[in-house]
Each structure stands twice: as structure tokens, then as C-alpha cells.
Structure 1
Amino acid sequence: MKRLIVGISGASGVELGLAFLKALPCDIESYVIVSDHAKVVFEKEHASIHRLDDTDIAAPSASGSFQCDAMVIIPCSMNTLAKIAYGIADNLLTRSASVMLKEKRPLLLAPREMPFSAIALENMHKLSVLGVHIAPPVAGYYADVDSLEKMENFFIGKWFDLLGIEHTLFKRWEGA
């Protein structure tokens, strides 16, 4: 993998998206898109990270000719997920996701709310049938996690697995 679009949507869970970014290998070029709601938290706490403007529909990731290997949205708000499920591309984040679907490139969404409503589950199912990885941050207790940092590493490692990114972020199950 050479290029990755990283989206961060919703106000809650911004730290998990940032932890994902920090864990990326240095040789992966990342393009970060932050939703309006996530911007409030993002700008107050992480002004030094370069990001694309979510209102810039002319940004490179809005075009299918922009060569990108995959896209993730961590966390993914239910609003963003619903827009993607119904083809609403009203900002750079949802437009970039639409391009990934159109070009049949890997797209991973990490929904952040629970419990899931029937509408959210229906939208996730629709996207899953289209090949989108629906991968909410769900605890894996077999991974010998005893801290929040190790749990975040488990989530990030599982997402890396789906994207084909090698890592040693968590202890893999080796049987009893």
C-alpha cells in the first residue's frame, strides 16, 4: 500500500482516528479529511497534522483518476455512513468514499455509536454487500489487553489486517 485516505467524522472518537494515523508505517502516504463536527475537537487538540479541506470538492481524492490504494473513516458517524450508503456526496469526505465505491477500491468504515439502530444496521448491510469493510472498534479480549492503549492497538491492528498492512500491534491468538 502506498496511498491511503483517512477520514475522521463525528465529534466523538477523534482520538481513535488519530491513533490510527500515528500507527501507520512511514512509507504510506496519507491524506486526511476531517468532517465539520470532528474539526472542533481536531483543531483544538491536533493543529499540526496536515489535512484536506472537507469543503474542497476539487481536492485530489474527489477524482477517480487519483491513484489511491484504500480509504478508511475512523471513526465513522452514522450521518456519514448513511450518506455513503445512499450516494450523497455533499462534501469531500463522502465524495471520496463515493469514488472508492465507484472505482471498486477498498473502503473501511469504523462506526462509532452503539447500540446500532435498525436503520444503521440496514445501511451497514447495504454497504457490506457492496464490499465495504464495516469494522467497528469491538473489543477482542483474547488479545491480552489490559490498558486502553493496548485495546486501541488491537482495533488498529485489526483494521491494518483488513487493509493488508503488516504490524505487530497486538498478540495474535495461538490456540489454547
Structure 2
Amino acid sequence: MRLLVAITGASGAQLGMRLLEALPESVTPYLILSDSAREVVRHEGVRAFDADDIAAAPASGSFPIDAMAVTPCSMNTLAKIACGIADNLVTRAAAVTIKERRTLLLAPREMPFSPIALENMLKLSRLGVVVAPPVMGYYAKHETVEEMERFVVGKWLDLLGIEHELYRRWRIEEV
């Protein structure tokens, strides 16, 4: 599987990096960093594209990816994707992902959500985009921030169809 990961905004960039770190070897990652995220993230071993390079390979439907995840997704990026504005590599790659009917996962990072953001999320969800904010699952009784992060990243991997063992799942005998 080939996964394009975009990290937009600086707040929450750590979760995007956790997603990259959790990918099994069977997944080939590609990375797009916004200017804000680039200031926060310094990651080696992943092909990173500049968000301003609208001519980079992910801008084309012929670029062979299976899914795209924007983790975290700033409200600005969310709004642009919802309105079809493809003015940088992240939004162009997202538009191509929707056009090609590939899995697109967006992880909005701000709260509370404004009515405009909620309308944008609903619009995108109706188009088949997976909207998955980084919401903690307290029922899993996490004891550390790292365990909470593993849960969130694990849920994203579930939604992308990528197997993992990042968190303990419910079992029939526990019900």
C-alpha cells in the first residue's frame, strides 16, 4: 500500500508523525508538510514534498497512492478541500484523491468546531471523505499521553485498512 500523509499546521503535528512511525513496512509513505508543519517536524527516511510545489507527483491522479491522510488537518485546509480550492500540493492532492475515489482521511485539529467547519465536514463526509478528529477513547483506560496517541493513530490506521497492534481491542469475553 502507498499512503500519502499531509501534515498541515503546527498544532498536532506530533500526531501526524506518530502515524508515520506506526506504519508497517508493507506501507510506503509519502509526506507533504505545510510551512507551519515543516517548522515543527524534522523527519528522516520519508520522501517529503513541499506543499508549495503544485507540480510535484501527488498533484496528478496518475501518482500511485492508495489513500491519503491529512493528520492533523487545519481548518483552513479543511475549508479549501470542501470548496474544491486546490492552491497548494496538499489541497490539490486531496482533490485528486476525491476525484479518483481513493480513501481520504482528514483529522481536524481544532475545537470547538465552528458551524462553518461542521458544514464543511458534513459536505466532505457526504462525498465519502473520512472525517476523524483525534478524539481520545477514554473507555480504553489509557494511563499516559503516549497510550492515548497510540489509540488515536490506531483508529486512523483502522479507517485506512492498515493492520496494527497499537491498542487493545474489545473482546467478546469482556462484554
Please report the TM-score for the alignment, with normalisation by the length of structure 1. 0.94
Please give the residue correspondences for 1:51-66 in structure 2 after superposition, counting only pairs within 5 Å: 51-66=48-63
State the match for 1:127 in structure 2.
124
Q: In the TM superposition, what whole-angstrom CA distance separates every residue of 1:133-176 from its partner, at most 9, and x where no partner exists? A: 00001111122311111101100110111111111110112243
Please give the residue correspondences for 1:158-173 in structure 2 after superposition, counting only pairs within 5 Å: 158-173=155-170
Give the ranges of 4+ consecutive aligned residues of structure 1 lying more than 2 Å apart after TM superposition: 47-50
State the distance in 2 between where 1:153 and 1:41 align.
20
State the distance in 2 between where 1:55 and 1:75 align.
18
Q: Does 1:4 align with 2:3?
A: yes
Q: Does 1:35 align with 2:34?
A: yes
State the match for 2:136 in structure 1.
139
Q: Return the letter of the residue paired with 2:6.
A: G
State the match for 1:16 in structure 2.
15
Unaligned runs of 5+ in 1: none
State the distance in 1 between where 2:111 and 2:103 align.
24
Change (3 A) 1:3 1:47: closer
State the distance in 2 between where 1:118 and 1:11 align.
23
Q: Return the letter of the residue paired with 1:21.
A: L
Please report the TM-score for the alignment, with normalisation by the length of structure 2. 0.95
Q: Does 1:152 align with 2:169?
A: no
Partner SS, residue 4 of structure 1: strand
Aligned sequence identity (%): 61
CA RMSD of the aligned region, Å?
Answer: 1.1
Post-superposition shift, 1:33? 0.2
Equivalent of residue 112 in structure 1, options 106, 109, 113: 109
